Amino acid sequence: MAILVTNDDGIYAPGLEALAAAMSEIDEVFVIAPDREQSAVGHAITLSSPLRITHIERECGFTGYATSGTPADAVKLGIKSLMQDLPDLVISGINLGANVGASLIYSGTVSAATEGCLLGVPSIAISLDSRTDGHWETAAEFAKIIARDVLAKGLPEGILLNVNVPDLPRSDVKGVMITSQGKTNFNDFFEERMDPRGQRYYWMCGTLVADDERRDHDVRALADGYISVTPVHYNLTAHKFLGDLSNWELDKNWRGDVH
Amino acid sequence: MAILVTNDDGIYAPGLEALAAAMSEIDEVFVIAPDREQSAVGHAITLSSPLRITHIERECGFTGYATSGTPADAVKLGIKSLMQDLPDLVISGINLGANVGASLIYSGTVSAATEGCLLGVPSIAISLDSRTDGHWETAAEFAKIIARDVLAKGLPEGILLNVNVPDLPRSDVKGVMITSQGKTNFNDFFEERMDPRGQRYYWMCGTLVADDERRDHDVRALADGYISVTPVHYNLTAHKFLGDLSNWELDKNWRGDVH
């Protein structure tokens, strides 16, 4: 029995160390993470180049594997190549920065947990709503609670948990809310600059804006000072549109019966 | 009015050229795509490095923009920085290789269409079930039918279409099937090798295996010789598990009321 710990901020991130320490109070911990920051990589996997793995051992006692791959690669490599047995839990984080609303789609943290889920292991993504250093200990405390629950109760096939923790001391957290993924917009834009050789380049800018009246979505819960727990699936079929789409009679159209 | 055409195989891919040519029969076409292959990048966006854009003009008459970014970056850049007005359609492809079942999660082709959808534009991803060169003309023919339909009828907010075309001459295609995303497993593994300097490296290997008894899922439809059209959303909340998760009483547990 073991817990696979990973992240997308890289093997040297303080959030990973905090999470690994918290999980080691529960069980044996196996750490594998990207060798550098891999934020916003989405569910990327590496097909066209080989992957490297380096064993890391730090003076503080932290040990783990660093890989040249993405967060999803890290989980695949850990489970398929390095671990003797399937872990009992995959937990990804503690990410520096919230993963709520539309940012779930871009999140390397969530994708690592999704990969665990795809490989049949109960999986959790956990993020701290901070831009710089923050209250890792608050998130680590909740990680222990939710990890113990998931280990005891399991999760349905194809469902993982996405946890977001406000950057507050434990005593200031309002509570825990079960949430849906919030509807958000990115008001993003590109800042155009000129390099020293007179060539144009672009920086992506912008922030996530909630566009959701409901009280129980992740963006809102977090902003209100609650820990947000969202059950996430990757069943991407928009079932509610299947009927309407059938009425388009694409098959007839393709066969040339419709003129 | 214009159609944004993109892909994840890169600006020089034959599938992109076939798609741009087909779309130019319908309307003005604006092409922006990665400057090199970006398969399996998932919904990655580029935050930590600047993006470059190069204008491409080929002798055959093909013009477009190549970007150093990912497919999702390409769509963002096209819409937010380069195009005067919002396009009426984003179409991504024609991808070399099917995007069905769990591979939707990893697909750069689908992520480009998802990005279009997030930015409020009706969007389509289209892929050809071939490993090498193939019947681009079959996919291009269907691309025209579905693009015209989407332009005429629109799509509900937050829903895009994922189209997969068998690699057959048009006359051999069985028809068009409206499908769900199939349940699949990757039987993936890593092949371990030694480089000339005696250092280990790993190649990801494996294939997608359908694990779905239903007749109307994308993997099956495609294998049976049908064009598969799946409505896709990115609402990742697993609503069916919200109730059970509430029963875990995480809030009570966090507050220390449960002992």
The 10s digit of each residue's pLDDT in A62-100 is: 899 999 999 999 999 999 999 999 999 999 999 999 999
What are the E-state strand segments in chain B?
3-6, 29-34, 53-57, 63-67, 89-96, 123-129, 159-166, 175-178, 184-186, 189-194, 200-205, 208-210, 226-233
Closest residue on chain A to B158 (Cα): A238
Distance CA B10, CA A254 (A): 28
Distances in whole angstroms, Cα of residue A130 to Cα of each of A143, A167, A182, A187, B125: 16, 6, 18, 20, 35
Q: What residues have CB less than 8 Å from A67, skipping those under 6 apart?
A: A32, A33, A34, A35, A51, A52, A53, A54, A73, A74, A77
Domain membership of residue B205 (yes or no) is: no
Q: Kindly state whether residue A208 falls inside one of the protein's structural domains.
A: no
Q: From the CA of A60, how many Å to the nearest CA of chain B? A: 27
User: Is the pLDDT score of A215 beyond 90?
Assistant: no
Q: Is residue B58 part of a domain?
A: yes
Amino acid letter, residue B72: A
Cβ A227 vs Cβ B126: under 8 Å: no
Considering only CB atoms, which chain B residues are within 8 Å of A131?
none
Q: Is A215 on the interface with B (CB under 8 A)?
A: no
Q: Which are the contacts of A32, defined by CB distance < 8 A and separation ≥ 6?
A: A4, A6, A53, A64, A65, A66, A67, A74, A75, A77, A78, A82
Whole-complex ipTM: 0.89
Distance CA A123, CA A161 (A): 7
Please write down the HEC assignment for all residues of A19-85: HHHHHHCCCCEEEEEECCCCCCCCCCCCCCCCECEEEEECCCCCEEEEECCCHHHHHHHHHHHHCCC
| CATH code, domain with B8 | 3.40.1210.10
User: Any idea what DSSP says for residue B241?
Assistant: G
Task: Give domain status of residue A10, yes or no.
Answer: yes
Token pair for B241: 């598990």
Segment B181-209 mean pLDDT: 90
Residues of A in contact with B175 (CB under 8 A): 251, 254-255
> Are the beta carbons of A254 and B203 separated by less than 8 Å?
no
CA distances to A69, A73, A194, B226 from A77, rounded to whole Å, are: 9, 6, 40, 35
Per-residue pLDDT averaged across B163-191, rounded? 94
The closest CB to that of B229, out of A40, A48, A245, belongs to A245
Residue with tokens 């160390």: A17
At B181 the pLDDT is 96
Per residue in B51-63, pLDDT (tens digit) is 999 999 988 888 9
**Out of B173, B202, B240, whose CB is closest to A77?**
B202
Q: Count how many pairs of residues, chain A against chain B, have C-beta atoms within 8 Å.
A: 232
CA-based R_g, chain B, Å: 20
A198 touches chain B (CB under 8 A): no
* Residue A224 forms contact with B (CB below 8 Å): no
Bridge-based pairing of strands B208-210 and B123-129 is: unpaired
B181 to A237: CB separation less than 8 angstroms, yes or no: yes
Kindly state whether residue A131 falls inside one of the protein's structural domains: yes
Interface of B with A in 145-184 (CB under 8 A): 145-146, 149, 153, 155-156, 158-159, 161, 173, 175-178, 180-181
CA distance A59 to chain B (A): 25
Interior CA angle at A109 toward A240 and B46, to 5°?
A: 90
How far apart CA A215 and CA A39 sit, in angstroms, is 28
Q: Is residue B70 part of a domain?
A: yes
DSSP assignment letter at A103: G
Q: How close, in Å, is residue B106 to chain A by CA atoms?
A: 5
Which of A44, A159, A255 minimises the CB distance to B40? A44
A12 touches B at CB < 8 Å: no
Tokens 């997030």 — which residue?
B118
- Residue B189 burial by CB count (10 A; 0-12/13-18/19+): exposed, middle or buried? middle
CB contact under 8 A, B44 and A46: no
CA of A94 vs chain B CAs: smallest distance (Å): 18
Tell me the backbone φ, ψ of residue A137, rounded to 5 degrees.
-65, -30
Would the CB atoms of B236 and A104 count as touching at under 8 Å?
A: yes
Q: pTM of the full predicted structure?
A: 0.92
Residue ranges of E strands in chain A: 3-6, 29-34, 53-57, 63-67, 89-96, 123-129, 159-166, 175-178, 184-186, 189-194, 200-205, 208-210, 226-233
C-alpha B89/C-alpha A36 separation (Å) is 36
Instruction: Give the max Cα distance, chain B.
Output: 74
Distances (CA, A) of A151 to A17, A72, A86, A146: 21, 21, 13, 9
Whether A133 shows a pLDDT value over 90: the answer reads: no
Tell if the CB–CB gap between B181 and A229 is shorter than 8 Å. no
Query: Which residue range is the domain that position B92 belongs to?
Result: 3-182+214-255
pLDDT greater at residue B131 or residue A155 = A155
A118 pLDDT tier (thresholds 50, 70, 90):
very high
Tell which residue, B108, B146, B159, has the closest CA to residue B227. B146
CA nearest neighbour of A108 among A43, A60, A56, A54? A43
Q: What are phi and psi of A61, to 5 degrees?
A: 105, -10
Q: What are B72-108's pLDDT values in tens digits?
A: 999 999 999 999 999 999 999 999 999 999 999 999 9
Report residue B258's pLDDT band, with 50, 70 and 90 as the boundaries.
Answer: low
Enumerate the residues of chain B whose CB falls inside 8 A of the CB of residue A46: 40, 204
Quick check: B76 and A185 in contact, CB under 8 A? no
pLDDT for residue A258 is more than 60: no
Of the candidates B176, B180, B189, the beta carbon closest to that of A250 is on B176
Answer yes or no: is A198 within a domain. no
pLDDT single digits (tens) B29-53:
999 999 998 888 888 888 888 999 9
In-domain check, residue A201: no
Instruction: For residue B46, give the nearest of A146, A181, A204 by CB distance.
Output: A204
The predicted pLDDT at position B207 comes to: 82
Q: What are the tokens at B145?
A: 């039918």
The Cα B115–Cα A114 span in angstroms is 20
CB of B196 within 8 Å of a chain A CB? The answer is no
What single letter denotes the amino acid at residue B135? H
Determine, for residues B204 and A47 on separate chains, whether the beta-carbon distance falls below 8 Å: yes
Distances (CA, A) of B223 to A29, B48, B57, B217: 42, 40, 37, 10
Q: With 70 as the cut, is the pLDDT of residue B259 above it?
A: no
> A interface mutation test: which of B100, B199, B250, B257 has the most A CBs within 10 A?
B250
Contacts of B253 in chain A (CB under 8 A): 145, 149, 176
Nearest to B42 among A41, A145, A177 (CB): A41
Q: Distance of CA B43 to CAs A40, A91, A183, A257, Å? A: 8, 21, 17, 38
> Based on the structure, what is the number of domains in chain B?
1
Contact B76 A204 (CB under 8 A): yes
Which of the four pLDDT bands, split at 50, 70 and 90, describes residue A166? very high
Cis peptide before B45 (omega within 30 of 0): no
